[in-house]
Amino acid sequence: MPITVGQDTAKTRKTISVNGKTISYYSIPAATEAGLGDFSKLPAALKVVLENMLRFEDGKTVSVDDIKAFSEWADKGGNNPREIAYRPARVLMQDFTGVPAVVDLAAMRDGIVALGGDAEKINPLNPVDLVIDHSVMIDEFGNPRAFQMNVDREYERNMERYVFLKWGQKAFNNFRVVPPGTGICHQVNLEYLAQTVWTDVDQNGDEVAYPDTLVGTDSHTTMVNGAAVLGWGVGGIEAEAAMLGQPISMLIPEVIGFELTGKMVEGTTGTDLVLKVVEMLREKGVVGKFVEFYGAGLDTLPLADRATIANMAPEYGATCGFFPIDDETIRYLTNTGRDKDRIALVEAYAKENGFWRDADYAPVYTDTLSLDMGTIVPAISGPKRPQDYIALDGAAKAFGDYVKGVRGGVDTSKSSEVRWEGEGGAPEPREIPGDEGHHKRGYVTTEDGHYQLHDGSIVIASITSCTNTSNPYVMIGAGLVARKAAALGLTRKPWVKTSLAPGSQVVSAYLEAAGLQEDLDKVGFNLVGYGCTTCIGNSGPLEAPISKAINDYDLIATSVLSGNRNFEGRISPDVRANYLASPPLVVAYALVGDMNVDITTAVLGQDKDGNDVYLKDIWPSQKEIADLVEATVTREAFQSKYADVFKGDEKWQGVEITDSLTYDWPAASTYVQNPPYFQGMGKEPGTISNIEGARVLAVLGDMITTDHISPAGSFKDTTPAGKYLVDRQVPVREFNSYGSRRGNHEVMMRGTFANIRIRNEMLDGVEGGYTKGPDGEQTSIYDASMAYQEAGTPLVIFGGELYGAGSSRDWAAKGTALLGVKAVIAESFERIHRSNLVGMGVIPFEFTGSDTRISLGLTGEETVSIKGLDTIKPLQEVPCEITMADGSVKTITVKCRIDTAIEIEYIEHGGVLHYVLRNLASAA
């Protein structure tokens, strides 16, 4: 909400008349007239942040010098990393990250009472929307019952969590919950919640317009930047601080301009475009930076495609990927059912305040790069990173090369002699294109018959994720591929688990209106739920014989999904290679069922007359797609589906809760437990201490993602988390997932660094969450941590480049802290995870010079001490003393990645939530 402003910026407050109504706003041109600087050449993305400074300037948290720094940014060619305090308008959450955030708020209410304060002081000051989208799993698929059966299982598994969230909606002000079965948070945000220009009433009762901004507890919050809403993902702890009124401390970012020229050609999709963009920007290096898209190419780029590009900002490493307001923004707001007065305000405000993109839009950027969209070709990315771009016609060869790399060039074809026991025997092994003896094979007998599985068999094909299901062009395209395939008699291969999980109910409305859902059903893509599903790892179990064959014969099974993430161990524990693709290609790959096949030229099957069918025979034209989008994606559909968005179905309405200010923590719950963060906390902060005699918990490689650190998917009863649940009489069938149990720190501690594909370099060739304990023997990371903590021994983690890449997962930092880790030393950090570590009181350090874990020859047997922390300053370099296993000592210099002054205070308090809690408790 706008607050009382200082004398220097009060004069920048102006009024605008829209449809006969006068609204106040803070004028950037007026700031120039007032002598605060020339802001005319700022990118629109930075103007949003500048407006925030104008509105909240108070001479303390935000100063006039902070505002002038934006003019200096342009004068210095797009570089002036001054620390600023930024206040987003609202907060977006989903249930995987939202549950622990609400758990923290509930615990803070207990904590403030223990410090003698008022529980009602713990309330969001900014609006918070939590969308339940991460909990539905694909247990049932490929039949008309799939949706209802998956919904029923979702409520069975998650009732404890849903009771807790519904309690939070009642107990906290400014907190709304969008019930299960509505859609994915980013798509609901894009299609309904976001307004591009927000309005609120100030302390004088005047209505004030300002840019819609937000942070979200999910890294793909960036999706809404496609609609010119500045937002990005933060960890739950940072989001909690923001909702409690704490400004976000950040440096004025660099802004990379990405020029788009030309236009998309026949046969390509927005997915193909974004995969190329991801590859280019990862190569460019944009971690911690804004990316703003500009150029004549935007004139032909639908907002749906822009949102797809903005969604994958975490995959290309940027803080956000922003698209300025223009005619297409207005068209989208109109078509998606926004209020007409709001739409008029967006256009008038943008033009009046310098946010509008027209033919003369030419801001200053830190650096630029360019892409002619006419050069885009069909593509996929994989098998384990979103930036691993592959032109579609090279996908089969690339997969074969990947298999050879995994197999080490060893001939493993002898496994083809193994037969799966079952009625009817098994077919003879068939030749795999480009095999050269490097592929393994196994045989499966199911109710559908018997068939051969081998390296490259596609066992999951999923239309999933807001990234693409928010885009009617690719969804209608997928439906048309299904229609043409079904008409020719083609269907999915029997070993492919197919699923359709749209990001909103609007998608079902237009697929049904176009008659395409029936066609998708015919080839196996029945509706399974409205939620993240496969993209977040909730792909559900494979059929038991298929899973057994994969594991018995160590097969490299594959998945193809229309998502944004394909990290190792994320999609399914049975699937090693994962590929990102457009929804139409997901359907096509389900028909062929094999990554070894060049889908661009291969025979997909035979029609009813025995004629060969190729991809070109079932691929729709752009005109076919556009005509159906125009006819079926209507303003009325959006208005109808979002009319009662917070009401929910009968199941949600039937969830019963108690009415209380503090939560009555159920002692027997394995989903929601009171976390230990604030227990025994004193009224005064501590000091930052040097780290002395720390042992190494893990030595990790490059691109260690938050999925590696804190997996979201399923886990077995032999893991520390599984054993914990078994000890509490929870049957394996009810384990659910790590993500669903993020409200229970006991489960999540045990799941930290427990990804099945993580490799601790302290051990030789071992995958999974293992390390060496104090006795030098191999044990689980959790058990080793407990032993070290029992002995009072601090711990450190070593890592490589881009440590903490991936999602905004706060449990990657929370779990690290609860395992007793005091410092993480890596070559570089991804933005969100670095911030999360600081927010949990764990200090990140970066190697300097040419030092790395490899150059230093680290084995994990070392002892580590870090000096100079008792007088630390932001970004200071300090000595790190490493005592090697043979007793020799190496002293290196590491850079402390406490980036700002306020972050030093966070560390002193033990974390950002401790800082906020103490301040609220001491306030009059």
**pLDDT tens column, 682-696:** 999 999 999 999 999
Please provide the DSSP assignment of 114-142 as one string.
Answer: HTT--GGG-S-SS-EEEE--S----SS-S
Any idea which architecture 90-375 has in CATH? Answer: 2-Layer Sandwich (3.30)
The whole-angstrom separation of Cα 921 and Cα 924 is 8
CATH number for the domain formed by residue range(s) 693-858: 3.20.19.10
- What's the pLDDT score for residue 425? 39
Q: Which strands sit side by side in the sheet containing 320-322, from one edge to the other?
A: 320-322, 290-294, 255-261, 367-372
Q: Say which residues have a Cβ less than 8 Å from residue 42's Cβ, sequence separation at least 6.
A: 50, 70, 73, 74, 363, 364
Torsion of CA 200, 203, 204, 205, to 10 degrees: 40
The whole-angstrom separation of Cα 331 and Cα 667 is 52
Q: Cis peptide before 383, with omega less than 30 degrees from 0?
A: yes
- Cβ-in-10-Å burial (0-12, 13-18, 19+) of 647 comes to exposed
- Report phi then psi at 798, rounded to 5: -110, 145
- What's the pLDDT score for residue 423? 35
- Cβ-in-10-Å burial (0-12, 13-18, 19+) of 61 comes to middle
Query: Which residues are bridge partners to 210 per DSSP?
Result: 198
Six-digit token pair at 855? Answer: 């150059």
H or E stretch covering 824: strand 821-826
Residue tagged 């099974």 (tokens)? 557
Residue 433 · residue 427 · CB < 8 Å: no
Residue 727 · residue 888 · CB < 8 Å: no
> Distance of CA 93 to CAs 131, 161, 198, 231, 278, Å?
6, 15, 19, 12, 25
The whole-angstrom separation of Cα 57 and Cα 838 is 26
- What's the pLDDT score for residue 446? 67
- What's the pLDDT score for residue 429? 46
Question: What does DSSP assign to residue 226?
Answer: G
Q: Selecting from 3.30.70.600, 3.90.1150.10, 2.40.30.10, 3.30.499.10, what CATH number does the domain 379-620 have?
A: 3.30.499.10
Please provide the DSSP assignment of 256-271 as one string.
Answer: EEEEEES---TT--HH
Closest by Cα among 633, 622, 766, 788 to 697: 788
Sign of CA dihedral 516, 518, 520, 522: negative
The whole-angstrom separation of Cα 343 and Cα 334 is 7
- Cβ-in-10-Å burial (0-12, 13-18, 19+) of 653 comes to exposed
Q: Give me the residues of the chain with pLDDT under 70, please.
A: 1-9, 409-438, 442-443, 446-448, 924
- Per-domain residue ranges of the chain: 90-375, 379-620, 693-858
| Equal fold, 90-375 vs 693-858 | no
Q: b/e for 845-859, b at 16 or more Cβ within 10 A?
A: bbbeeebbbeeeebe
* 236-243 vs 95-114: helix crossing angle, rounded to 10: 60
